[in-house]
Amino acid sequence: MDVIIEISQSDDKQIQMVVQGAAKGMVYFRDINVFYAFIEKCAEFSGNHEGFVRTLTPIPEPFLDAFNDNAK
């Protein structure tokens, strides 16, 4: 399954993340610190539930691998 993730920042420093794949959605973060905290929690969840995440969710391997690379 293909998943496309677009991340951009507006002039007022708001972060916008658009995810398109089996599900579609858009998330706004008020600033880079909130976005960073979100990514950190995703990595934590992914690490704590690795077996579940890798076998039962449609998150693409490169996205999960990016978290593993940052954890080293």
- Which pLDDT score is estimated for 55? 61
Per-residue pLDDT of the chain (72 residues; tens, 9 = 90+): 577 888 888 888 888 888 888 778 888 888 888 888 888 887 787 677 666 655 665 666 666 676 665 544
Domain residue ranges in the chain:
4-71
CA–CA gap between residue 9 and residue 72 (Å, rounded)? 27
Q: What DSSP character marks residue 21?
A: S
- Which pLDDT score is estimated for 54? 57
CA–CA gap between residue 16 and residue 29 (Å, rounded)? 6
CA–CA gap between residue 19 and residue 2 (Å, rounded)? 11
CA–CA gap between residue 42 and residue 60 (Å, rounded)? 14
- Which pLDDT score is estimated for 72? 47
H or E stretch at 20:
strand 15-20
